[in-house]
Structure 1
Amino acid sequence: MKESVTTTDRVLAAGNRIDSIDLLRGLVMIIMALDHTRDYFHISAWTQDPLNLVTTTPALFLTRWITHFCAPIFTFLAGTSIWFQSKNKNRKDLSTFLIKRGIWLVIVDIVIFNFAFSFDPSYTIVALQTIWSIGVSMIFLGLLIWLPFSWILGIGLVIILGHNSLDFYEASHKGTFSVIYSMIHRPGFFSLGEGHGLFVFYPVLPWLGVMILGYCFGKLFTAYAGLERQKILMKLGFGVIILFVIIRAINVYGDPKLWSVQNNVLHTIFSFIDTQKYPPSLLYAAMTIGPGILFLSFFEKTKNALTNIIVVFGRVPFLYYVLHFFLIHALCMVFFLLRGHNFSEGIHEGPNMLPNFIAANEGYSLSIVYVIWICVVIILYPICKWFSEYKKTHRKWWLSYL
């Protein structure tokens, strides 16, 4: 084992990437684009909840449900990547970098991603979304890495296992929640006056817990190698899935959305796996991260033409994330105009959760959504491939922020 560990450490110290991590990250990035394509193109995306068992179809439910894996695995692996960085950065440098990059990501989310989502240059609504939660989590993790590892692990476990205790307080709370509380644990909308609003979409506390556990997972990942690591990852992955099944079956704690027996077996299964994403519950995290860990065990040494393509997206997730939002929304605008609308009809007045160039009850079937999604991924591949090669051959400081 010692020889294998030395080899793993040497790979990390040389700045090389671990293919299985990039493969999993690339896969969830590709799947993530499916959800955003559905948001902008599906006919019922803004009028129907795809997880509503009364109105959904199995295809629509599963199209939405499979994308649940994206945000938690991406955040978890962001924490793992931070552990990998700790192998060739001292604690002070890593802490400083995480705080600066976290601030940068918060700014990027507010300025760039809000515009990409809405195409609204006046920013009538500012939404705090995925990148915001990752940025804030990085800032906190930049402070936490000064603590002993056991303390960091303990904090992560307390957050993930315990944050759903706040559900009971929230259920009994009368009146509105403050913006600070909303940023911590409960999504909410707040008026900023003069026709502007703030929508807290990704409360940070549970996502911080996911990132912390991802960071601690990095130590496990580098402490073992080869067949031994595969066995440990398999046991851990199955263990997390079993934890999900047991706690979900008890139906008391871990998710505010209780499951129930439906009028058929399929819908009962759907009810069982329909866990809360906003904010991510304990069961949501276990349901998604457990299979992600299993994936790392099963596909550690898998290399073929398909995985080589997927890995490319996992190596440049930030660029891909930025570009795919702009591309999907730009295509949405083109389709909007081709349906006979003019440009001014696509601009919504005042605070409106509906992005510009989307009309409620207009759009396309799920099969068309899948075709557009595949086209988006194909279009972005050569750009991501070029940038991946550029990052490999250049060591410029600003590349670490992308």
Structure 2
Amino acid sequence: MNSSTPYRVTSIDVLRGLVMVIMALDHTRDFFHRTAVTADPLNPATTTTLLFFTRWITHFCAPTFVFLSGVSAFLAAQRRTKQEAALFLIKRGLWLVVVEITLITLGLTFNPFYNFIILQVIWAIGWSMVILGLLSWWSWNAVLVVGVLLFFGHNVVDYMKFPAEGPASVVWLALLTARGAVVPLNATHLVGVFYVVLPWTGIMLPGYCMGRWFTRDFPAEKRKRRLIVTGMALITLFVVLRWINWYGDPVPRKIYPDLWSNVLSFLDASKYPPSLQFAGMTLGPALLALAAFERIQQKWSKVLSVYGRVPFFYYVLHFYLLHTVLVIAFFAAGYHPAQIAQVPFWFRPADFGYALPGVYLVWVGVVAALYRPCLWFDRYRGTHRQWWLSYL
């Protein structure tokens, strides 16, 4: 077990902060854009360029966040024995699953009856941490082998048939195949399975293995070179697979009659579930950004690192703040209490919303409002040692 002296990698905090800020744009669009619940922003046939890239840029957030969760898990493990680190990952993973179902679902929906439970990135991270804990208890090599198999091989299931009904079908949906599936629990309660587990585990496990590059004694220039080479390799893999249009995405790329629509189609790799093409498209630039942010010391990077040091705190808080603003906008727009109960988000009628400039204005305001709370919590966590802080 290595020294317990606190050690942070600036580039990780800055990149994580950047993706947290961009992530809030997508959720702001979900709540406030006038066509968010009625149209696909990534459909080249119906979208606009600004709307497409408003949605597309947020694709980088979840895979980068999951990957960095793996890196952070490795670095945190250096302060514990192998067994202690593995057990902590398992416990924290199960705790995150509970938080997703309860606290985050409530923040998203504002529905106290939980008629629609939403399983998203925290759910996937939670189960991925459980799997990572079990594998790392065995060995680092086990994490590497399973990570490589899942990362490069999970799209093999695109050519397989799975049960269409019964409990087995639900298990496969949750583990591998769901593309935004909605599963009924009973006549009044639904579960939205938007993040399947194993493809996201295939992103976290390589992050854990690459955590070795971010340890205190690893040469910074060597890390930077490896990040650049790996990032370029992933981008090349994305371009080649996307061009061949045969493997690496559950939905083959569509061909359109005009050039710009084909460019947009080329970039529209599957996030639900995250395909190999999607992972190459997003993680390649993320690794290049990590290399670029090595030892960065700019004003803007210091601001981003505040969000990046307390990502879970920011993540939970931004849903509740966004939805509170939505409630205010709901009544200000003249809607009535009888229109509150909507699926999936209360206070979000299908005909409600603003144009994109209004969405961007709300996004900037919410992110700015969260800076001081995040700064306070970062300082609090740095000066207090309660056991529960390690779970946040």
What residue in structure 1 maps to residue 203 of structure 2?
210
Partner of 2:176: 185
Identical columns (%) = 44
Match of 2:242 among 232, 239, 248: 248
1:257 aligns with 2:247: no
* 1:1-400 correspondence runs (5 A): 13-170=4-161, 178-187=169-178, 188-222=181-215, 224-348=218-342, 352-353=343-344, 355-400=345-390
What amino acid maps onto 1:105 in structure 2? L
Take 1:378 and 1:241, find their aligned partners in 2: how far apart are those partners?
32
Of the structure 1 ranges 323-332 and 265-274, higher mean CA displacement relative to structure 2 is found in: 265-274
SS in 2 for 1:126: strand
Letter in 2 for 1:45: A
Distance in 2 between the 1:103 and 1:149 partners? 21
- 1:5 — aligned with what? none
The root-mean-square deviation of aligned C-alpha atoms, in Å, is 1.6
* Structure 1 residue 102, shift from structure 2 partner: 0.8
Unaligned runs of 5+ in 2: none
| Cα distance in 2 for residues equivalent to 1:267 and 1:325 | 33
Letter in 1 for 2:184: S
The worse-fitting range, judged by mean Cα deviation, of 28-37 and 90-99 is 90-99
Q: Secondary structure at the match of 2:86?
A: helix
Deviation per CA, 1:2-29, whole angstroms, max 9, x where unpaired?
xxxxxxx87xx41232110010000000
Aligned length: 387
What is the CA-CA distance between 1:150 and the residue it aligns to?
2.3
Stretch deviating more after TM superposition (226-235 or 269-278): 226-235
Aligned-partner Cα distance in 1 for 2:70–2:251: 27
Secondary structure of the residue aligned to 2:184 is strand
Q: Which moved more, 1:73-82 or 1:197-206?
A: 197-206
Asked whether the 8 Å contact 2:66–2:125 carries over to 1, the reply is yes
1:291-342 C-alpha deviation (Å, 9 max, x unpaired): 1111011111211111110000000001100110011111111101001112
Structure 1 residue 174: deviation in Å? 6.0
After the TM superposition, which segments of 4 or more aligned residues of structure 1 sit over 3 Å from their partners?
Answer: 172-177
